[in-house]
């Protein structure tokens, strides 16, 4: 049997199928898609200005709040850093002072003259012992134990 | 990133161009003018706040419609939760109040149509409104609702069938 050409000779208007279901729905419902809803008079003019005002307000409010938060955080950071540095400086100074004082008490002038060769070693020593807590150092002192007693100075 | 001035100019343009379209889209979801007004404002505020995050993956119009749809559905959920009823019951209540609404002047047939639409499940209602009243293409609706075109066609088909039956029952 001769094969028939399946191509249909029929045509439809342009975009017919795109709007078919819509047109069908309108026919079925026999209603024009006007919905009966209304707005107050001049609503769309007024709402535009109202939204612009609201947005500007919320933008300002947000910027103010963010600025405030950032400023507060910056101040808090500066204060914290100041106290940390201050404490560190005090601790370090106290420690150095303590070691020098202890060194002077524990040694006679002759000893010191003799030890002068060790000056740089001593300086290194102090730097190495920066990690000693001031409270611990003071406790050692209260118990009458100097770093030299504890043989921390091993130059003898 | 947009400069504050560019952002403001762009926002005003979007507001001028889309306020009415978005309002009607929202209004058909929430029914009542006051609620539509609240949702429209929230939608534009969200648009403004998120403008710098918009990457252009979708059309700005689609993106704004998505925000408006989500905001409308959120409002429905809030209202219905407040009254301890479902979203559908809340919509039905709103539609029943349309007769006395000063911002509704539809005739008896339009009122009947709104009552029939109110009986649809949420998704079908959205699809029906967007397709029938707003005459949106399925591809656009699919982008806004993030659903397949096939699914939308099926939803619309079911919606039309149900509305037809509902109108016959109401007559």
The domains found in chain B, sorted by start residue, are 1-99 (1.10.1740.10), 106-171 (1.10.10.10)
Q: How far is CA A136 from CA A111, A153, B117, B161, in A?
A: 27, 17, 82, 88
Does residue A12 have a pLDDT over 50?
A: yes
B132 inside 8 A of chain A by CB: yes
Cβ atoms of A100 and A146 within 8 Å: the answer is no
Minimum mean pLDDT range among B4-13, B82-91, B146-155: B4-13
What are A1's two structure tokens?
């049997």
User: What is the pLDDT confidence band of residue A155, given thresholds at 50, 70 and 90?
Assistant: very low
Alpha-carbon distance of A50 to A35, in angstroms, equals 26
Average pLDDT over residues A63-77: 69
- What residue of B is the nearest CA neighbor of A62? B49
Which candidate from B16, B41, B113 shows the least CB-CB separation from A31? B113
Does residue B157 have a pLDDT over 80?
A: yes
CB neighbours of residue B154 within 10 Å: 13
CB neighbours of residue B86 within 10 Å: 14
- At which residue do the structure tokens 């400023």 appear? A71
- Cβ contacts of A100 within 8 Å, gap of 6 or more: none
Query: Which residues does chain B have within 8 Å of residue A18's beta carbon, measured at their own beta carbons?
Result: 137
Does residue A132 have a pLDDT over 70?
A: no
User: What is the pLDDT confidence band of residue A156, given thresholds at 50, 70 and 90?
Assistant: very low
pTM for the whole structure: 0.60
What are B35's two structure tokens?
């609620």
B90 inside 8 A of chain A by CB: no
A153 vs B129 pLDDT, higher one: B129
Mean of pLDDT over chain B = 90
pLDDT digits (tens, 9 = 90+) for B88-128: 999 999 999 998 898 988 888 888 999 999 999 999 999 99
pLDDT digits (tens, 9 = 90+) for A18-42: 665 565 555 555 444 567 888 898 8
Distance from CA of A57 to the nearest CA of B (A): 11
User: What is the pLDDT confidence band of residue B50, given thresholds at 50, 70 and 90?
Assistant: confident
Does residue B166 have a pLDDT over 50?
A: yes
């Amino acid at each position: 049997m001769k094969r028939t050409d399946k191509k249909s000779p029929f045509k439809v208007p342009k975009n017919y199928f795109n709007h078919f279901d819509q047109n069908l729905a309108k026919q079925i419902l026999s209603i024009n898609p006007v919905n009966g809803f209304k707005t107050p008079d001049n609503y769309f003019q007024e709402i535009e200005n109202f939204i612009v005002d609201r947005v500007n307000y919320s933008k300002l409010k947000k910027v103010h709040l963010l600025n405030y938060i950032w400023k507060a955080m910056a101040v808090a950071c500066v204060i914290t850093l100041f106290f940390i540095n201050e404490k560190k400086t005090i601790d370090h100074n106290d420690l150095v002072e303590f070691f020098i004082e202890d060194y002077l008490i524990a040694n006679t002038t002759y000893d010191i003259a003799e030890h002068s060769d060790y000056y740089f070693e001593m300086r290194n020593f102090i730097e190495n012992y920066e990690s000693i807590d001031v409270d611990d150092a003071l406790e050692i002192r209260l118990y009458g134990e100097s770093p030299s007693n504890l043989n921390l100075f091993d130059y003898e | 990133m947009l400069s504050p001035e560019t952002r403001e100019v762009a926002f005003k343009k979007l507001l001028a161009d889309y306020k009415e379209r978005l309002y009607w889209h929202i209004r058909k979801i929430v029914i009542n003018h006051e609620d539509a007004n609240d949702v429209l404002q929230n939608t534009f505020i969200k648009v403004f706040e998120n403008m710098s995050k918009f990457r252009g993956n979708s059309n700005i119009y689609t993106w704004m419609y998505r925000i408006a749809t989500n905001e409308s559905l959120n409002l429905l959920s809030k209202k219905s939760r407040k009254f301890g009823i479902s979203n559908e019951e809340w919509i039905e209540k709103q539609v029943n109040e349309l007769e006395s609404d000063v911002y509704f002047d539809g005739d008896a047939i339009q009122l009947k149509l709104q009552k029939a639409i109110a009986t649809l499940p949420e998704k079908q209602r959205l699809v029906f409104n967007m397709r029938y009243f707003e005459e949106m293409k399925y591809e656009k609706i699919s982008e806004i609702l993030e659903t397949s075109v096939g699914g939308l066609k099926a939803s619309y088909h079911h919606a039309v069938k149900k509305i037809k039956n509902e109108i016959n029952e109401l007559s």
